[in-house]
Amino acid sequence: MLDVESCKILIVGSCIFRRGVASIVRDIVPSASIAETFSFADARARLNRSEFFAAIFDIDADELNGPMSFRTLRVDCPHLILGVLSRTAGPGDILSYLAAGVSGYVLEKSGQTEVERAFRQILNGAIYIPPNVIEPTACKPEFALPALRRNGCCLTPRQDGVLRLLLLGYSNKEIARQLNLSPHTVKIHVSALLRCFAVQSRSSLAVAAAALRSEGIGHYSSLGSSQILQISA
């Protein structure tokens, strides 16, 4: 179960989709207050009227305008956890939704155990990416929601490695070679970093990270045999 006493979660999609997702969410957060709707337009109206902890969408619905729908929703609801489910497993599609501000991209074909793991991570504030499609940026809830709401974040060791090279001016391809990762994986890590620092470009990310470190706001703390960069306001 999540480390939250109660929360409001909106589920958007067909009746079968809503009931299935609601069942899984209640197993994870028994005290959750769940609202349901079938359309993206109604979901946006509800999200604008009331504060929700998270919203989970079926993105295969015809009415959606792809990632752009979620880019505008992210602007309106900057603290909302956004999860999506889809039949599409292409790395490019996953990347585009993460770049638009989605917290986790779950494949409908995944088994029950994996779907439960995905929702648990997403609702804990992690960035979830399906296994065997693109290397996940976070297999544990490193991005805790309370920390994000305090304008702070915690980077995994891999994300910190990507950030260090980005600050040195390395391109995504160069970072991929240095860290023995695929270019797609590096793009996913950069997308997560952009969200963590609340910026929209690599140049803004570099400026924000360098400024925080130069002011002594960023610091390193021991976590077993690894290090994570902790940025706090």
> pLDDT for 16-34, tens place per residue?
999 999 999 999 999 899 9
In this structure, of 4-13, 69-78, 214-223, the range with the lowest mean pLDDT score is 214-223
Q: Provide the pLDDT for residue 45.
A: 95
C-alpha span between 59 and 62 (Å, rounded): 8
Q: Provide the pLDDT for residue 118.
A: 92
The four Cα atoms 82, 85, 86, 87 give a dihedral, to 10 degrees, of 160
Give per-residue pLDDT as tens, 118-176.
Answer: 999 888 877 787 876 654 333 333 333 333 333 445 677 888 888 888 776 678 888 99
C-alpha span between 148 and 81 (Å, rounded): 11
Structural domains of the chain, ranges and CATH numbers in brackets? 8-143 (3.40.50.2300), 150-231 (1.10.10.10)
pTM above 0.75, yes or no: no
214, HSE (Cβ side, Cα atoms, 13 Å): 7
- The helix or strand, by DSSP H or E, that contains position 222, with its residue range, turns out to be strand 218-223
Q: What is the DSSP code string of 57-99?
A: EETTSTT--THHHHHHHHHH-TT-EEEEEES---HHHHHHHHH
